[in-house]
Structure formats: C-alpha cells, structure tokens
Amino acid sequence: MRAPGPSSRLRTVALLILVGCSDGGASAGGVQEQPWPDRVTPAGPWSASLEGTGSRLTLTMAGTITGERGRVTVDFGKPTEGEPTGGRSLLFPDGERWYPQEPIRLDWVGDVPFVPAMGEESPDTGGYFSVEADGGDLTIRIPVVTLLAAAGDGPVVAHGSFVGGDGREVDELAVPPGTTVSAGCPRPTCETTPPDADTQSSLVHVEATTGTGIHAVGDGEAAVAGTVRAEAEGRSWDGRVIAVEGSEVDAAATYDGDRWSLTAHVDGARQLWVDVWPVVDTELRARSYTSDPGFLKGPLKVEWVNVGHATAQILEAEGTGPGASGVGFDINNTRGHDAGLRVRRGDKVSGFRDGADIDSNLPPGDRTNRTLSYRTGDPATLVLRGNFPEVRVELAVPGT
C-alpha cells in the first residue's frame, strides 16, 4: 500500500459535488442496497481524486461561477406582514433605502462569487453547501454586499417590486456601487439600524447556460452521483455515489446545457465515500472516566479520539452489561456524502436508552468528549463499530 508523503502546501481546500438521482441509475433505493466495498488503511498522509458527470452539483467551499450565465435572482425573505418597510433593505451610499417585496432579478455583469455556508444547511441534501446545482439552477448563499462588489465595471439593474423608505413604489432600480444590506426593522427606527451584510447571507439563484463554469478551492468534500470513478492509495473505485473529503482540493466543473462534468483532486485527503460507505479505514482510541471519583453522582464521561489518517464514521454503537439500559446514548447518522439522494448509513444504537445525539463523524486528530446520563451502581460497556477496529469502552459508571 502506497503512502504519499506530506503535502508541501499549507492552504486547505474543500468541495462537495452532487450529481442527480437519474444519472447512471443512481437512486436512493439503489444506492442504499449497495454493499460495503473493499477498503484500504493508509499508513500516512494520502491523496485522492475523482471524476464524474451528472445534473446536480454542490460545493462547500469558496469559489467563482464563470462563463456564460443567465439571470441572477436574490431572495431577501418576505417583509413583515403589513409592514412593507419592515424587512431587509438595500441601503444606497447616499442613504436612500429600498425594501424588496419579493425575490429580485439582477442584470449581472462579472463573475459570481460564492462562500462557505457557515452553518447553513441545504434543505435538499441535509448538509452544508456553498453552491449547489439542480441542472441549470445554481443556488448559493452569500452576503449581498459581497455579490454586488463583484459586479465588475458594468451597472447592476434590479428588477422586481420595491418600496422606498418614503413609501414610493418602483419595479426597477439602478443599484450603485457601495450598496449594502441593512437589517429589517419597522419605521422609523430603521434609520439607526446598521448594515448586516457582513454576517447575514441571502439565497441567490444563478441561471447556468451552456459554457457556465465553476472553479472552487476550500476544505471539505466533493461528491458525485451517476457515472463516477475515484482513485486513492493505488486503488480505484466505481460507484453510483462517490465523495472525496479533505484539504488542498482543487475542483472544476463545466455545464454543457444538460449535465455538469466535474474533476476534483485533493492532496490532503481525509475520506473517500463510495455509495455512502467510508472505504478508507482509521483507528479510534477511547476511554471513560468521572471527574469526581468517589462520588456516587459524579458526571460520567466518555471520550474517543481519531488517531488515524482518515475520517472516522461510527456506524453502530452497542451497550452491553446490566447498566447499559440506564445509560443515555445516541449517535446521528451520516450527513452528506450522498449527492442529495438522502441515503443514510449508520445511526444504529442498541442496548442503551435514548440520549442526546453525538456526532458520528470525526476527522483525523479530532476528539469527542461527552457527559452521559446514567443510573448509579450497574456496570456497562460501550462498543463502537465503523471504519475502524471495534472499540470497547468500560464505562466508568459511578457506584460500580
């Protein structure tokens, strides 16, 4: 097994690409039935690459939409009912303020940037995104001031329905350079409300046409559903859905009017997901303790750390022993890696009573440390299974 040497680059990069359910016969049901492919275990830092085509695409890092495109539509959210000047507004440099009453269309000049989602989840994929495509409909979340700053030398004209701070109504605005976005509030206090464009993103739709391109770098994941092949550690995998996760990724996609073609390479890879199964193994080390030894009601803690070279995915947690049914424990299922097909692996917990979700996904070098609820006096063991050798932890239940 080949172990590439450490990367010479320090910057981190990330990406997630989605390709639609109909491409290559990829469907949630068909993918869910796929068995766990053969796996590898890297001895050190490793790299990976993938190529794929399909109608859906999502990126989870910063990048730019280039080439030919159509409409750019911005959704500011609906104004407060009965308060047409109670929502977010466009604030011109001269202090003039306009309140969009519906999504507005921009006559656009220049490339369109996008930024990491910063915790905003996609309603379609259940994961985080910076840009996602469903055919020619590209969706991004970005501060409007960032979008407007990228408009280039040409004027930006906004079309829609607008109400001015003085009550005037127009359906077209010439948006001058330096325009920002201000937080929504009722009149007359809006005059003192500062702009919020640096912290609050808007939903933006960009219409892709033949020749539209996307180039993105960042830290995260690239996934393709449809016709996909990936390579890592001297191995190759073909799958209906493949995702590569890591740092130092460089990804490019082009649209031919029907489907997107994607290539992505990551020097600092963390995981390769084939049909939503992790195929690069790692190692977990775990322990359990109480921070108040000798006290019957001290807190019960459990901790595990990923000491390998790939992201860990806990697929199953089992509680054994007479005290297991009194311990509150649960894990969440996989998030993303499925190209929007809503395929989920894991989230299988047995032997414990219900508890708060613990993230089942852990990048290399990270650790999880949680306090568990319990009943005093009965011993219990936690067993973790996934893309790592089975881990057994004797829980330090106080009173045992």
Distances (CA, A) of 10 to 62, 88, 123, 267, 379: 17, 39, 33, 11, 46
Separation between Cα atoms, residue 97 and residue 88, nearest integer Å: 10
Owner of token pair 């690069």: 280
Separation between Cα atoms, residue 79 and residue 161, nearest integer Å: 12
For the chain, the first-to-last Cα distance in angstroms comes to 45
Separation between Cα atoms, residue 122 and residue 208, nearest integer Å: 19
pLDDT of res. 125: 43
Q: Which residues pair with 218 in a beta bridge?
A: 249
Owner of token pair 């890879």: 269
Which is nearest to 382 in space by CA: 278, 286, 282? 286
pLDDT of res. 337: 86
Second-level CATH architecture of 284-395: Sandwich (2.60)
Separation between Cα atoms, residue 212 and residue 137, nearest integer Å: 11
Query: Which part of the chain has CATH 2.60.40?
Result: 284-395
Torsion angle, alpha carbons of 149, 155, 159, 162, to 10: 70
Token digits for 278?
Answer: 């992790």
Mean pLDDT per 10-residue segment, the chain (400 residues)? 34 36 66 95 97 83 88 83 81 90 88 74 56 86 82 82 92 89 59 53 90 91 85 95 89 90 93 96 96 67 97 97 95 81 87 93 96 89 98 91
Instruction: Say which amino acid occupies 353.
Output: R
> Please, are residues 95 and 298 in contact by the beta-carbon 8 Å criterion?
no
**Which residues are CB-contacts of 188 (< 8 A; sequence separation ≥ 6)?**
none
pLDDT of res. 295: 55
> Please, are residues 322 and 348 in contact by the beta-carbon 8 Å criterion?
no
pTM: 0.80
> Please, are residues 387 and 399 in contact by the beta-carbon 8 Å criterion?
no
**Which residues are CB-contacts of 170 (< 8 A; sequence separation ≥ 6)?**
98, 162, 164
Which is nearest to 232 in space by CA: 49, 9, 17, 15? 49
Phi, psi (rounded to 5 degrees) for 314: -80, 120
Separation between Cα atoms, residue 280 and residue 272, nearest integer Å: 6
DSSP, collapsed to helix, strand or coil, labels residue 17 as coil
Token digits for 189?
Answer: 């206090």
- In this structure, the chain runs to a length of 400
> Please, are residues 313 and 387 in contact by the beta-carbon 8 Å criterion?
yes
Looking at residue 94, the DSSP 8-state letter turns out to be: T
